[in-house]
A = this chain, B = another copy of it.
Amino acid sequence: MASKRKLKIGFIGGGHRGPGLLDLLLEMDDVVVTCVCDLYEDRAKDMVKKCTEKGKPEPKCYLDYLQLLDENVENNLDAVIAPTAWESHVRIACDVMECGLPVAFEVGGACSLDDCWNLVRVSEATGMQCMMLENCCYGRPEMAMLKLIKEGLFGEVVHCEGGYHHDLREEICCGEENRHYRLRNFKTRNGELYPTHELGPIAKWLGLNRGNRMISLTATASKARGLNVWAKEHKGADHPLATYNFNEGDVVTTVIKCANGETIVLTHDCSLYRPYSRGNVIQGTKGIYMEDKHSLSIQGMTPEKGGWDSETWVELDQLWDKIEHPLWKKFQEAGVKGGHGGMDFLVLRAFIEAIRDNKLVPIDVYDTASWMAITPLSEDSIAKGSAPVAIPDFTNGLWLQPDRPYDKGTYCLEEICKPGKL
């Protein structure tokens, strides 16, 4: 790899998830960050400092990403990575692709269906790749479950669940101070605002956009109480957020139906006290996985059930040697690195190596668009009293070809086990 020229990366977005991703890039020998950008000058300068402190070349520094593109697209960039606010992902990604560059951006939902179609149309028209950096697709248990599904251990999968169960009351209620976009979204919107941490892995389990697809959904929001209670306790009864009428319900439940008959239940749950979970459940004809129990129960693998209250769950920790995904075996041998237990590193490498080697990315523009579309579609459904809404086929029929060529990229979840990938 050292013989190859370094991949020149532009990095847009120095808040929140940005610094962690930049750290990972700065540890990669085949990458050079040539320019950085943030709306806020302090954050942009922090990124420059981070680069030079690690002994890397000083990147050019911008407050306007269009200027970054304008001045660097000719000969200073191979790709752009944009961990920006949810609302800006699509706008930036389309501008990058229009410049003739591939782009990766952070997770988050779209604001409109039109945004999702834009992403697809611009990618198709320019031939530029667009990848959401959905780290949870590369999570250790998520990948183990993918392996078990492919091996048929669950029988035929008929139902999956996932949630973003994350007590973010402090982050949200301090959104003014910490310049976080979640606050304005929770004030004004009501929907499944953050679907991809759970939907990404589920999409891989169910082969979505590869012989299967999501066809419709309903969404239902609970009342909004959690943020008021938190603000009252931590900022005082007189603080505006203690009585603000937040639009976003504390718990938003979205139920998706797939073309092949599977159901998916997603839960958005970020404004109540609770321990963290992504709440994954997989149910097949012969087995069940439940993240909250950190356990599997597979017919035949576990003792057969007895009476009505029999318990036949087996903890994952007793099973890793049987269930570990080959990529994760290698990753552990090589030494797990990066945030969130290693999955941030894996998803970033997937993008970098695909672009470096001129291969196709594993989470493509159709995946990205269809996962992001759940957000505006859930808002539609809630606005219509939980009416079912159709989910568009962003592939325009390509999903009928399960083995279509663009699915063979580096770190494609079916391909990552081949030698020499790490």
Chain A positions near chain B (C-beta within 8 angstroms): 155-156, 158-159, 166-167, 216, 218, 220-223, 225-226, 229, 249-251, 253, 255, 257, 260-263, 265, 269, 272-276, 283-288, 290, 292-293, 297-299, 305, 308-313, 340, 385-388
Contact = CB atoms under 8 A, between A and B. Distances in A.
The oligomer's copy count stands at 2
Contact of A387 (B222, B262, B292, B387): B387
A253 B218 CA distance: 11
Contacts of A340: 308
24 contacts: A155-B273, A158-B250, A220-B263, A221-B263, A223-B262, A249-B263, A250-B285, A251-B263, A265-B265, A269-B283, A272-B284, A272-B285, A273-B284, A273-B285, A273-B286, A273-B298, A274-B283, A274-B287, A275-B288, A275-B310, A275-B312, A276-B308, A387-B387, A387-B388
A218 B265 contact: no
A294 to B, nearest CB: 9
A218 B253 CA distance: 11
A276 B308 CA distance: 6
B255 A220 contact: yes
A72 to B, nearest CB: 34
Nearest to A254: B255
A155 B220 CA distance: 22
Nearest to A287: B273
Nearest to A284: B272
A290 B292 CA distance: 9
Nearest to A274: B288
Contact of A386 (B225, B257, B275, B293): B257
Given A158-B223, A257-B386, A275-B313, 17 more contacts: A156-B225, A158-B226, A158-B250, A218-B388, A220-B257, A220-B263, A229-B285, A249-B263, A250-B283, A265-B265, A272-B284, A273-B284, A273-B285, A273-B287, A276-B309, A292-B293, A385-B388
Nearest to A167: B305
Nearest to A261: B223
Nearest to A290: B292
Nearest to A230: B285
Nearest 7 A/B pairs, CB to CB: A223-B261, A159-B251, A222-B263, A273-B299, A218-B218, A229-B285, A386-B388
A319 B359 CA distance: 55
Nearest to A260: B223
B288 A283 contact: no
Contacts of A286: 229, 273
Contacts of A293: 292-293
A282 B216 CA distance: 27
Nearest to A251: B159
A249 B283 CA distance: 13
Contacts of A257: 220, 386
